[in-house]
Amino acid sequence: MTKFMLLVNYDGGVVAEPMLSWSPGDIKAHLAYYEALNQELTASGELVDHQALAWPETSKIVRSDGRAAPLVTDGPYAEAKEQIAGYTVVDVESVDRAIEIAARLSAVPGPGGTPTQQPIEVRQFMDGQTVDL
């Protein structure tokens, strides 16, 4: 089995409106979709971890040369849409399965139940086996 991190960012896919402007019912459906998917992945023995990260404006950027006090500035410093919002780590038989799960994440419903098609990045863990060299 191989581990992959599936990264979600703030690119809303085909949905332009921020979640604040959705109906409460739509927000609930959105969260329920994620919850159901996580339960399914736990039941299948594939879920390793899933986390949402705090809002980027709360993030800090830290720079240090190891000697002077570090320089700490408020984040974000990358393009807002590309900020990581959260991640799911899965342990699966193949990259195809990781992609399949990523597709499920991408299809999470937005306003009116429309699938958002949010872009999900699939990154493999570098915990691969080594061989005698």
Partner 1 sequence: MPRAGPTARPSVEALLRALAPQVLGTVVRRSGGFDAAEDAVQEALVSAYRHWALYGVPANPRAWLTKAAMRKVVDRARSDHARRRREELAAASPPPGGSASGEDDTLTLLFLCCHPVLTPTSAIALTLRAVGGLTTSEIANAFMVPEATMAQRISRAKQQVKASGVPFQMPAGEELAGRLDLLLHVLYLIFNEGYTTSRGEGLYRVDLSAEAIRLARAVRERVPHDGSVTGLLALMLLTEARRAARTTPLGELVPLAEQDRALWDRRLVEEGVALAVQAMSQGPTGEYQLQAAISALHDEAATADQTDWPQVLALYGVLEQMTANPIVTLNRAVAEAMVHGPAAGLALLASLDERLAGNHRLYAVRAHLYEMLGDVPAALDNYRAAADKTMSLPEQHYLTARAARLNAAGPTRATGRIPQTSPPRPTQTPSREERLATTRGKPFGPV
- Kindly state whether residue 38 participates in binding partner 1, applying the rule CB under 8 A: no
**Closest approach of partner 1 to the CB of residue 14, in Å:** 32
Question: H or E stretch including 33?
Answer: helix 24-43
- Cα separation of 66 and 93, whole Å? 42
- Kindly state whether residue 58 participates in binding partner 1, applying the rule CB under 8 A: no
- Kindly state whether residue 16 participates in binding partner 1, applying the rule CB under 8 A: no
Near partner 1 by CB under 8 A: residue from 20, 68, 69, 133: 133
Near partner 1 by CB under 8 A: residue from 23, 38, 42, 73: 42
- Cα separation of 74 and 124, whole Å? 30
* CB-based contact 1:87 (threshold 8 Å): no
Pick 91 or 121: Cβ nearer partner 1: 91
Token pair 């005698």 in the structure block, residue: 132
**Closest approach of partner 1 to the CB of residue 84, in Å:** 21
- Choose one: 5-13, 22-30, 52-60, 123-131; the region binding partner 1 (CB under 8 A): 123-131
- Kindly state whether residue 96 participates in binding partner 1, applying the rule CB under 8 A: no
Question: H or E stretch including 8?
Answer: strand 2-9
Near partner 1 by CB under 8 A: residue from 14, 23, 38, 49: 49
Provide the token pair at 108: 């999470």
- Cα separation of 57 and 77, whole Å? 10
